[in-house]
Amino acid sequence: MALIDKKKNEFLFKGTLKGKIAFPPRGKNGFGYDPIFVPLNFNKTLAQSSSSIKNSISHRKKALVKLLKHNLFKKLSIKNIL
């Protein structure tokens, strides 16, 4: 995820989700790689997991949390987001 401030400074925020590839594909709750990706320390693919589980471990969420902790957002009330 990227942020460019008013002075055109660029900031990158990375989130990762480690895991392994499973075959054959399993599950119907998702798209893309969800049916073949098993997160580390899980025994189900992302497509077999609930949306709340997927959102709690999401690489996108991890990147967004880092972005929202940036100094540019310090004045905002983001307690409910994190």
Give me the CATH topology for the region 2-73.
Maf protein (3.90.950)
Residue 39 β-bridge partners: 19
pTM value?
0.77
Q: Where are the domains of the chain?
A: 2-73
Q: What is the pLDDT along the chain (82 residues), one digit of tens a residue?
A: 998 888 899 999 999 999 999 999 999 998 999 999 999 999 999 999 999 999 999 999 999 999 988 887 776 655 555 5
Residue 4 β-bridge partners: 10
Question: CA-to-CA distance for 55 and 36, rounded, in angstroms?
Answer: 17
Residue 70: what pLDDT?
84
